[in-house]
Chain A
Amino acid sequence: GAVVSQHPSWVICKSGTSVKIECRSLDFQATTMFWYRQFPKQSLMLMATSNEGSKATYEQGVEKDKFLINHASLTLSTLTVTSAHPEDSSFYICSAREKREASYNEQFFGPGTRLTVL
């Protein structure tokens, strides 16, 4: 149980285009989903926290107009990188927290999406 999928697993796009990444919890309902970015040899950096049915909360320094997050259901969140540029090339990972009592903290991670912007 507790499987999170991401699609696509990798994508190459031209500079200026937009890319949408999907994150799905396959066998549980996720009240909260998180989006991380990881550059080579660096730690995962939280970009935003997404709660179903409400606006995402972005971390400091993350442009909300560039990284659009939609969490329309308890099993799906999407991240759209708008007008992507080469510096947006990174490993994007989502995680989902199961809908349980608030103190339960385990997150389940998706396999990640490797974005390369040419």
Chain B
Amino acid sequence: RKEVEQDPGPFNVPEGATVAFNCTYSNSASQSFFWYRQDCRKEPKLLMSVYSSGNEDGRFTAQLNRASQYISLLIRDSKLSDSATYLCVVNPTPSGNTGKLIFGQGTTLQVKP
């Protein structure tokens, strides 16, 4: 079983749609969770951290369910510029001191006009 699993997609949605991505992780001791965005042939960039209480940043909402070891990302009012691969990322160590990050395969989003 992969440490971080995501549906690779692609998700094809029209502009303005709401789309949700899910991710599961295997290490129950994990403490830090993130969503990164990666454009084609580019480095990943931090989109947002994911907190236990859930958090929102503009059109983006992240949720964490520790009991189910499940993370989600909701994008509202999709824009063409949201087209990218979204990476679910977990720090598997309890204290987070090592900085080690485990990346999911990524979910590809294509927003169509």
Contacts and interface: CB of A to CB of B under 8 A. Distances in A.
Give the size category of B's interface with A: 20 to 34
A107 B45 contact: no
Interface string A95-116: 1010000110111011110100
B103 to A, nearest CB: 4
Contact of B45 (A34, A41, A109): A109
Interface string A1-35: 00000000000000000000000000000001010
B99 A107 contact: yes
B72 interface: no
B42 A49 contact: no
Given A43-B106, A105-B91, A105-B96, A34 B46 contact: no
Interface residues of A, number: 24
Given A93-B43, A111-B42, A43 B87 contact: yes
Contacts of B97: 102-103
Contact of B104 (A32, A43, A102, A111): A43
Interface in B87-110: 87, 91, 95-106
Contacts of B32: 105
A46 B95 contact: no
Contacts of B41: 91, 112, 114
Interface string B27-63: 0000010000000011111100000000000000000
Interface of A: 32, 34, 36, 41-46, 49, 91, 93, 95, 97, 102-103, 105-107, 109-112, 114
Interface of B: 4, 8, 32, 41-46, 87, 91, 95-106
22 contacts: A32-B99, A34-B100, A42-B105, A43-B4, A43-B104, A43-B105, A44-B87, A45-B103, A46-B101, A46-B102, A97-B99, A103-B96, A105-B32, A105-B96, A106-B46, A107-B101, A109-B43, A110-B43, A111-B43, A112-B42, A112-B43, A114-B41
